[in-house]
Amino acid sequence: MSGGTAHFSRWEKKRYDEVLTLYDTQFRATQTEEYLDMTNAIAMLWRLENRGIDVGNRWEELADPSEPRTQGHLLYFADAHFIMALGRGGRTEAIPGNAHVITASCAA
């Protein structure tokens, strides 16, 4: 099973410690800033936290490259993920001026 799909099997079996290991060794091993890699990582951390799993300081690594991406608009899907990374990474001061990117454009 490839790294991109291996986590799904573990997720379904609720083996969250293994999901975090895959996150560290495969998902974010290279800490790429490609938006799909980042949105996948952000979504995985969000899912884990919603299950009550402590993800440690992993949000911080995602918050740094997310901040400049919220200055403009890529895709609403990606924008929302980057804003989530800022919030969960403790960078809420970067959100208020940038959240309008999504809300104003959605109203148009």
Q: Residue 19's domain spans which residues?
A: 3-107
Per-residue pLDDT of 15-68, as tens digits, reads 888 889 988 998 888 888 888 889 989 999 998 999 999 999 999 999 999 988
How many domains does the chain contain in total? Answer: 1
| Model confidence, pTM | 0.78
Looking from the CA of 58 toward its CB, the CA atoms found within 13 Å total 23
60/75 Cα distance (integer angstroms):
22
Tokens (6 digits) for 86: 């800022």
